[in-house]
Amino acid sequence: MQLPVMPPMKPMLAKSVPTIPTGELSYEPKWDGFRSIVFRDGDEVEIGSRNEKPMTRYFPEVADAVRANLPERCVVDGEIVIAANGRLEFEVLQQRIHPAVSRITKLSKETPARFVAFDLLALGDDDLTGQPFAVRRAALEEALADVQAPIHLTPATRDSALAQEWFAQFEGAGLDGVVAKPLAGPYQPGLRTMFKIKHQRTADCVVAGYRVHKSGPDSIGSLLLGLYNDAGDLASVGVIGAFPAARRKELFTELQPLVTTFEGHPWAWGGEQETSRTPRSSEYSRWNVGKDLSFVPLQPDLVVEVRYEHMEGDRFRHTAQFNRWRPDREPRSCTYAQLEEPVTYDLADILAGSHRQ
């Protein structure tokens, strides 16, 4: 297989299922990082993102580790992650997407990234994408038998009971579920032929503001959610969106009586943000550069039940999903205390664990 410097290749994807499936499957932890395909041809190393965008410049330490650890010519599918305090830290990982080389260099030393390998797509002149996953996994284990950190081989098992244990335990280390791969399946770029099982929970949150939809100023784009912390302050925890077009307009009308000013609002910082267009740190993401994150403040009187997967620090890791309104709940009762806390699990034990189950 000829390995150009940066071949366009989408990773194989997974579709969500509610429970861990059984059958002729291989199970792996679901890593919470940047999905990446690594290409190595001698000293030439390129890291491609899920969207086929080059990522090499953001992770020079990973490129160096690839040269030191991976076979001379190969294509490996995996995940770039950053670990801190015994768990994955996605927010720290996001900071690496920065235009300044000096900043990237500094962070690569202060918070170095790791690459967790979970599929082998090519080795030497051999294209392995048409081979069953069972064959690719065996080849990956052989090729990475002596690999050293910060390159890691993900644990894998064919035991669904063990996968269920991983699902319950590994969340405490910052992982967000389990992936199941058909043992007989070839590698199919861009297709959802794997299965992912992620945690789903509910929380009652206060609606403290909204952003308008791009379709017009009379439609709701997203609702801003808050939870009260131990100090009695309403903390920003995330948003919900994805409403049907008609419902967006209905919501806009329904919420107008609750529109207020930033003076006296729990998030008075929103007024400063609206003026400066500089997002508050809790709302900031490297992926949101250039976006207007200002919002319309609401009296914090409404309570909504949302579905979420897990927390990243004190915020929802992903956009939450609307479940139902809770007129029976007092806003002040919506605290962090209601959230389920995962068991503590040391990430180092996962990275160093046996993968030949």
Residue pair 225/205 in contact (Cβ under 8 Å)? The answer is: yes
Exposure string for 337-355, b = 16+ CB within 10 A, e = fewer: eebeebeebebeebbeeeb
Q: How would you class 141 by CB atoms within 10 Å of its CB: exposed for 0-12, middle for 13-18, buried for 19 or more?
A: middle
Establish if 43 belongs to a structural domain.
yes
Give the separation between CA 310 and CA 108, rounded to whole angstroms: 27
Give the separation between CA 157 and CA 23, rounded to whole angstroms: 12
Calculate ∠ Cα 17-20-21, nearest 5°. Answer: 85
Same domain, yes or no: 314 and 206? yes
pLDDT tens string 242-301: 899 999 999 999 999 999 999 999 998 887 654 443 344 344 343 344 455 689 999 999
Element (H, E) at 81: strand 73-81
More confident residue, 347 or 313: 347
Residue 29's pLDDT is what?
A: 97
Indicate whether 2 pLDDT > 60.
Answer: no
Tell me, yes or no, if 30 is annotated catalytic: yes
Same domain, yes or no: 237 and 138? no
Indicate whether 178 pLDDT > 70.
Answer: yes
Same domain, yes or no: 42 and 169? yes
Give the separation between CA 37 and CA 199, rounded to whole angstroms: 26
Same domain, yes or no: 191 and 179? yes
Q: How confident is the model at residue 86 (pLDDT cuts 50, 70, 90)?
A: confident
Same domain, yes or no: 129 and 62? yes
pLDDT tens string 162-176: 999 999 999 889 898
Element (H, E) at 133: helix 133-143
Which CATH number goes with the domain that contains 260? 2.40.50.140
Of residues 135, 120, 112, the one with CA closest to residue 62: 112
Establish if 151 belongs to a structural domain.
yes
Residue 274's pLDDT is what?
A: 47
Give the separation between CA 106 and CA 61, rounded to whole angstroms: 11
Residue 135's pLDDT is what?
A: 98
Domain count within the chain = 2
Residue 356's pLDDT is what?
A: 41
Give the separation between CA 325 and CA 299, rounded to whole angstroms: 16
Cα Rg, the chain, nearest whole Å: 22
pTM recorded for the entire structure: 0.77
Instruction: Name the active-site residue from 15, 30, 53, 106.
Output: 30
At residue 119, the 3 state secondary structure works out as strand
Establish if 144 belongs to a structural domain.
yes
Establish if 216 belongs to a structural domain.
yes
Q: How confident is the model at residue 33 (pLDDT cuts 50, 70, 90)?
A: very high
Give the separation between CA 45 and CA 59, rounded to whole angstroms: 11
Q: How confident is the model at residue 7 (pLDDT cuts 50, 70, 90)?
A: low
Query: Domain boundary at 173, 199, 225, which?
Result: 199
Establish if 355 belongs to a structural domain.
no
pLDDT tens string 100-130: 999 999 999 999 999 999 999 999 999 999 9
Q: Which residues pair with 81 in a beta bridge?
A: 114
Mean pLDDT of 26-33: 96
Establish if 356 belongs to a structural domain.
no
Same domain, yes or no: 145 and 274? no
Phi, psi of 62 (to 5 degrees): -70, -40
Q: How confident is the model at residue 206 (pLDDT cuts 50, 70, 90)?
A: very high
Establish if 188 belongs to a structural domain.
yes
Same domain, yes or no: 182 and 329? no
Q: Which domain holds residue 145?
A: 13-199
Query: Domain boundary at 143, 167, 199, which?
Result: 199
Torsion of CA 340, 345, 351, 352, to 10 degrees: -160
Give the separation between CA 77 and CA 117, rounded to whole angstroms: 6
Which CATH number goes with the domain that contains 94? 3.30.470.30
Of residues 183, 176, 214, the one with CA closest to residue 198: 176
Which string of DSSP letters, residue by residue, matches 119-164? EEEEETTEE-TTS-HHHHHHHHHHHTTT--TTEEEPP-BS-HHHHH
Calculate ∠ Cα 166-167-170, nearest 5°. Answer: 60
Same domain, yes or no: 159 and 267? no
Same domain, yes or no: 54 and 33? yes
Same domain, yes or no: 22 and 167? yes
- Considering the chain, what is the average pLDDT of its residues? 89
Exposure string for 202-224, b = 16+ CB within 10 A, e = fewer: bbbbbbbbbbbbeeeeebbbbbb
Instruction: Count the Cβ atoms, other than its own, within 10 Å of residue 124.
Output: 12
Establish if 1 belongs to a structural domain.
no
Same domain, yes or no: 145 and 285? no
Residue 9's pLDDT is what?
A: 79
DSSP 107: H
pLDDT tens string 128-146: 999 999 999 999 999 999 9
